[in-house]
Structure 1
Amino acid sequence: MSSGIRKNWNPAAFPAAPEATHLLQEWMTEEGYSLFGIEHDFRGADLSGGDFTKAWFTQAVLADVRLTGAIFYRADLQSADLTGADLTGADLTGADLVKANLDGAVLRSARLDGADMARASLQEVDASEASFRGTRIMGASLLGVDLRGADLTDAVLFQNTFKVTVDDRTVMHGLTGTVFGPITVFCGASSRDLADAELEEWVAERGGQVQVIPRAQQ
């Protein structure tokens, strides 16, 4: 991370927790290391536009934090036991999450509209009722991701592992791209797996157009 970018940036609001505020202030004045925000509570902060390249937010609390346009390139928001960061209700509109590790993170009701999630890793992630409108999810790995009630309007996919859980509330309008399935569709208490042409048809019925890469090529 460039020290110049860091020194020219100040949070619009610091976290309510004094420990997290002190951590940020110390990091902003020092050079040569990534933010080590493991297990810290950043609630109440507005960190929009911050450059958190290669930062560590393992098990951090970022619920309802404003992170619009923030950079999380290669940032780590998970742990070995998949106890990830809590980003419930966080605003990540336009954020850079390229190659970010979000395994085990909680993205419930988060906003990721227009974010770049190319080659990000999402394993066992709760993204229920999250918004991915216009999000670039390209070359990413989504394994065991809960997208029930999520909004994928105009999101762009490209050769993603896409083993996700959806339901009739999941919005697919304008969703385009290529994926490896299958997905699990819930309807009430019952569920079914969809792959190949059946998955393409299900998305098309909801206003999207995706191409499912044949299993032989996976």
Structure 2
Amino acid sequence: MLPADEEVAAVVREWMGSSDDRPLDLAGLYLSGADLSGADLSEGLFTETDFRHVALISTDLYRAHLEGANLTSADLSNACLVKATLDEAALCSANLDHADLGSASLWGVDARAASFRGATLDGASLLRVKLAGADLSDATVAESSFNVVLDEQTVVTGLSGTVFGPATLTEGEASRELAGADLERWLNDRGAQVEVLSPRRSR
């Protein structure tokens, strides 16, 4: 299903009918009503694109540029976001169940109440990412940067692997840093199996 906006739909139709390999460029456009499930959007340019409530199930977004994109309530389940750049994107209430975010960049991302159940976050950089109320059940991490904001509603049951902290825990109006053994204990007391690694030293 193409976007409801006819101008945007025309851009998508032109790209679909093109014989060259240029990536799709929808930067700054509004994609309300679109269903791009299963599409190959690898290396696409989606900076500040409005994907609210858009279906992107099993979509290939390898190395896609999603800086500042609004993915609120989008369905990205089973999507490939390997090496994608999502800096300052909005992922509130988005569905990323079983998505692959290996080596993806997430800086300043608002992912409150998002679902990452069974997602792959191996090697991903989660820096200043808001995960209050998010669900990371059975997700995997491997040497992933985990400089995130958590709260008591963040679900980490079955989260497994290794991370670099520190994280911030919000408790009502107050917040405190969780690093090293304290972060590891907080996660694992809630059903995770995570090892918090010591920070890498500069050579």
Who is 2:121 aligned against? 137
In the superposition, relative to structure 1, how do residues 217 and 178 fare at CA in structure 2: closer, same or farther (>3 Å)? farther
Counterparts of 1:215 and 1:195, CA distance in 2: 10
TM (normalized to structure 2)? 0.97
Instruction: Verify the 8 A CA contact 1:172 1:206 in the aligned structure 2.
Output: yes
Residue 172 (structure 2) aligned to one of 173, 176, 188:
188
Who is 2:49 aligned against? 60
What are the residue-to-residue correspondences of 1:58-97 with 2, within 5 Å? 58-78=47-67, 84-97=68-81
Counterparts of 2:59 and 2:88, CA distance in 1: 20
Counterparts of 2:201 and 2:161, CA distance in 1: 16
Counterparts of 2:126 and 2:188, CA distance in 1: 20
- Give how far 1:155 is off: 0.4
RMSD of aligned Cα (Å): 0.9
- Give the partner amino acid of 1:33: R
SS at match of 2:143: strand
Counterparts of 1:216 and 1:139, CA distance in 2: 14
Who is 1:173 aligned against? 157
What are the residue-to-residue correspondences of 1:38-49 with 2, within 5 Å? 38-49=27-38
- Give how far 1:71 is off: 0.3
Instruction: Verify the 8 A CA contact 1:129 1:149 in the aligned structure 2.
Output: yes
- Give how far 1:217 is off: 4.9
Who is 2:5 aligned against? 17
Counterparts of 1:147 and 1:182, CA distance in 2: 14
Who is 1:81 aligned against? none
Counterparts of 1:106 and 1:186, CA distance in 2: 20
Residue 89 (structure 2) aligned to one of 100, 105, 116:
105
Residue 121 (structure 1) aligned to one of 98, 105, 115:
105
SS at match of 1:129: coil
Q: Which runs of 5+ in 1 are unaligned?
A: 1-12, 79-83
Who is 1:4 aligned against? none
- Give how far 1:205 is off: 1.2
- Give the partner amino acid of 1:86: N
Runs of 4+, deviation exceeding 6 Å: none
- Give the partner amino acid of 2:2: F
- Give how far 1:216 is off: 5.2
Q: Which runs of 5+ in 2 are unaligned?
A: none
Counterparts of 2:33 and 2:46, CA distance in 1: 16
- Give how far 1:204 is off: 1.1
1:168-203 superposed Cα distances (whole Å, 9 cap, x missing partner): 000010000100000000010001111111111101
TM (normalized to structure 1)? 0.91
Who is 2:17 aligned against? 29
In the superposition, relative to structure 1, how do residues 216 and 76 fare at CA in structure 2: closer, same or farther (>3 Å)? closer
Residue 155 (structure 1) aligned to one of 139, 143, 146:
139
Counterparts of 2:200 and 2:5, CA distance in 1: 51
- Give the partner amino acid of 1:37: L
Counterparts of 1:88 and 1:76, CA distance in 2: 16
- Give how far 1:54 is off: 0.5
SS at match of 1:21: helix
Percent identity among equivalent residues? 48
SS at match of 1:136: coil
